[in-house]
C-alpha cells in the first residue's frame, strides 16, 4: 500500500526540512515539494540586489536536505562532502578581506571543503561557482557583499545564469547530489525574474517583501518598517527613460539590510494581515502564472500536504496563483488534503487559532479561483466589446461562488502540546477531520513535530 502513495507538499524552506523523511517513508520517494521564489532575506537578498532573478534559497535548502533523505544506498564520504559544501555559509562577522580570501579558496579549489569530492564532480561544481564569480566581477561597481553567503545559492545562481533557466539549474543540482525522480523540487513560478510579494494589513498598511513581513532585519528602521508610501506616479516610470542604479519605486533604502535577520524577532505586526499578493517593481498588483509542473503534480498526486512553516510568506504565495485553487478543489486524484498546524504562532499569525489558519488557506485558494473567474469574464467581455476594448466592465461578484474549506482541507494534524487553540467541534462542522498527535519540545521549549510520530499519523490517514 505504501509504495503506491504519492505526496505533493507545499512548504517553505526550513521548517519542513525537519519532517521531510515522513513523506518519503510512506510515499517511497514519490514526493514533490512546491516552494515559493519570493524570499528576499539572508544570502538571497544580496543575490537579488546585485544579480536579480528569483529567490533560490528555499529551493537550495530543500535539495541539500534531500541529499540525506533520498540516500537509500548508504552514506559515502563524497556525498557528505558535497552536502557540506553546498550547505556551507561564509562567516557573517568577518572582514571584507577575510571573506573574499575564503571565497577565493573555494572558487580556486583549495578549500578544505573539497577534500573528499572527486575531481570530475569538483570541476563540475567549481565551473559554475567560477561562472557566478565572473558575473559578480562584471558588476564590481555594486560591491557584492559575501557576508553570510551560501555556497549552494552561489552555485545555483551561477548555473541559472549559465543556462538561462532556473529549472535547468535545479536539474543540475539534483543530478550532482543524487536527488532523482520520483522526488521533485519545483519552484511555484518558473521564472528568471524577481518575484515580490506584498501584504496588505487590516489597517491598510502595506509591507513589501517576505523579509519585512515575516522577519524584519535587525538593522531595519523600526519606526517606519510597517508603512510604505508609493512613489509619485509621474516619477514611477522614469526608470524606463534613464538607468538609475539607486532608483526604487517603493522608497526603500538602497543599502542591503536583509543579509542578517532574526526569525525569533518578537516585534509584532501593528495589524493582522488581510491579504498577500504579488507586485511588479512599481508596486502594481500582478497575477503570475504558476509553473505548469505545479498544476500537473496537484492533478496527479494522491495526498496534498500544507506543511508547517510561515503561513503568509511560505504557504499562501503558492496558493494565490492562477488555477491553483481550482486544481486543488477539483482534482479527482487528490484524496487527502492535510494541513499540518504549527506548534506555535509567529509574527505573521500572532493570536491565531487553528480556525484562523484554515480560514486563511480557504481565502487564499478562493482568491485564486476568483482570479480565474475574473479572467474568464474579461475574456468574454473582450469578445463582446470588440478588440481592443476601451474599458472593461467591473467584475460582477454574483458570478463567483467561493468553495467551502472542505474543498481544500480534509484533515488537520496538530500537536497535543501546541500553544495554538484547536476547536475540534468547529472543524468537524466544516467537514475537516482533526487528528491530535504527540509533540516534542525544541531547545526553546516550543512544540515541534516528531518525524516518526508524524509518519504514523499520515500512514493512518492514507491507508
Q: Report how far residue 246's alpha carbon sits from residue 378's, in angstroms, rounded to the nearest whole number.
A: 37
pTM summary value: 0.90
CB 166 within 8 A of CB 120: no
Rounded Cα distance between 185 and 168, Å, is 12
Give the pLDDT confidence of 114-161 residue by residue, as tens digits. Answer: 999 999 999 999 999 999 999 999 999 999 999 999 999 999 999 999
| Residue 303 · residue 381 · CB < 8 Å | no
pLDDT at 74: 62
Query: Which set of grid coordinates corresponds to residue 450?
Result: 516528531
Mean pLDDT per 10-residue interval, the chain, length 463 residues: 79 91 91 95 91 95 89 76 96 93 97 96 97 96 95 97 97 92 95 96 95 76 45 56 45 51 68 96 93 97 97 97 98 97 96 98 98 89 63 83 97 97 97 97 93 96 93
Cβ atoms of 263 and 42 within 8 Å: the answer is no
| pLDDT of res. 212 | 92
Are 9 and 305 in contact by the 8 Å Cβ rule? The answer is yes
Cα 187 to Cα 30, 54, 85, 275: the distances in Å are 17, 9, 22, 22
State residue 43's pLDDT score: 84
pLDDT of residue 76: 82
Cα(35)–Cα(3) distance, rounded to whole angstroms?
Answer: 24
Of 230, 224, 55, 51, nearest to 135 by C-alpha is 51
Q: What is the pLDDT of residue 248?
A: 47
pLDDT at 374: 92
Tell me the pLDDT tens digit for each residue of 229-286.
Answer: 455 656 655 555 444 444 444 444 445 655 555 555 568 899 999 999 999 988 999 9
Hey, what's the cell of 382?
Answer: 473582450
Do the beta carbons of residue 62 and residue 188 sit within 8 Å? no
Amino acid at each position: 500500500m505504501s509504495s503506491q502513495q504519492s505526496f505533493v507538499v507545499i512548504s517553505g524552506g526550513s521548517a519542513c526540512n525537519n519532517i521531510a523523511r515522513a513523506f518519503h517513508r510512506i510515499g517511497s520517494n514519490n514526493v514533490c515539494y512546491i516552494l515559493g521564489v519570493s524570499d528576499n532575506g539572508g544570502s538571497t537578498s544580496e543575490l537579488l540586489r546585485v544579480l536579480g532573478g528569483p529567490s533560490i534559497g528555499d529551493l537550495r535548502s530543500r535539495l541539500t536536505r534531500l541529499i540525506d533523505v533520498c540516500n537509500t544506498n548508504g552514506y559515502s564520504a563524497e556525498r557528505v562532502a558535497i552536502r557540506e559544501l553546498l550547505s556551507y555559509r561564509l562567516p557573517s562577522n568577518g572582514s571584507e578581506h577575510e571573506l573574499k580570501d575564503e571565497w577565493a579558496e573555494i572558487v580556486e579549489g583549495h578549500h578544505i571543503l573539497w577534500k573528499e569530492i572527486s575531481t570530475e564532480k569538483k570541476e563540475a561544481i567549481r565551473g559554475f561557482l567560477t561562472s557566478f564569480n565572473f558575473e559578480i566581477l562584471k558588476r564590481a561597481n555594486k560591491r557584492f557583499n559575501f557576508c553570510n553567503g551560501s555556497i549552494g545559492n552561489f552555485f545555483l545562481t551561477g548555473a541559472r545564469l549559465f543556462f538561462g533557466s532556473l529549472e535547468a539549474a535545479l536539474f543540475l543540482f539534483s543530478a550532482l547530489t543524487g536527488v532523482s525522480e520520483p522526488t521533485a523540487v519545483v519552484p511555484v513560478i518558473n521564472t528568471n525574474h524577481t518575484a515580490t510579494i506584498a501584504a496588505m494589513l487590516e489597517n491598510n498598511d502595506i509591507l513589501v517583501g517576505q523579509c519585512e513581513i515575516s522577519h524584519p532585519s535587525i538593522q531595519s528602521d523600526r519606526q517606519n518598517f510597517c508603512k510604505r508610501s508609493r512613489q509619485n506616479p509621474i516619477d514611477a516610470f522614469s526608470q524606463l527613460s534613464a538607468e538609475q542604479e539607486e532608483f526604487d519605486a517603493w522608497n526603500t533604502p538602497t543599502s542591503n539590510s536583509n543579509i542578517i535577520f532574526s526569525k525569533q524577532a518578537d516585534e509584532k505586526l501593528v495589524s493582522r494581515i488581510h491579504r498577500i499578493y504579488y507586485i511588479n517593481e512599481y508596486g502594481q498588483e500582478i497575477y503570475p502564472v504558476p509553473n505548469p509542473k505545479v498544476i500537473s503534480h496537484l492533478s496527479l498526486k494522491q495526498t496534498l500536504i500544507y506543511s508547517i512553516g510561515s503561513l503568509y510568506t511560505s504557504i499562501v504565495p503558492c496558493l494565490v496563483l492562477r488555477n491553483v485553487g481550482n486544481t486543488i478543489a477539483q482534482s479527482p486524484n487528490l484524496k487527502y488534503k492535510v494541513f499540518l498546524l504549527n506548534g506555535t504562532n509567529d509574527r505573521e499569525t500572532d493570536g491565531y487559532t487553528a480556525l484562523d489558519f484554515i480560514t486563511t488557506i480557504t481565502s487564499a485558494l478562493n482568491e485564486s479561483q476568483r482570479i480565474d473567474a475574473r479572467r474568464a469574464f474579461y475574456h468574454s467581455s473582450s469578445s463582446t466589446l470588440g478588440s481592443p476594448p476601451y474599458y472593461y466592465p467591473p467584475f460582477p461578484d454574483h458570478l463567483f461562488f467561493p468553495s467551502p474549506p472542505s474543498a481544500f482541507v480534509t484533515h488537520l494534524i496538530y500537536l497535543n502540546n501546541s500553544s495554538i487553540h484547536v476547536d475540534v467541534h468547529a472543524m468537524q462542522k466544516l467537514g475537516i477531520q482533526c487528528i491530535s498527535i504527540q509533540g516534542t519540545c525544541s531547545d526553546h521549549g516550543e512544540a515541534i513535530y516528531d518525524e516518526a510520530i508524524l509518519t504514523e499519523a499520515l500512514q493512518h490517514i492514507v491507508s
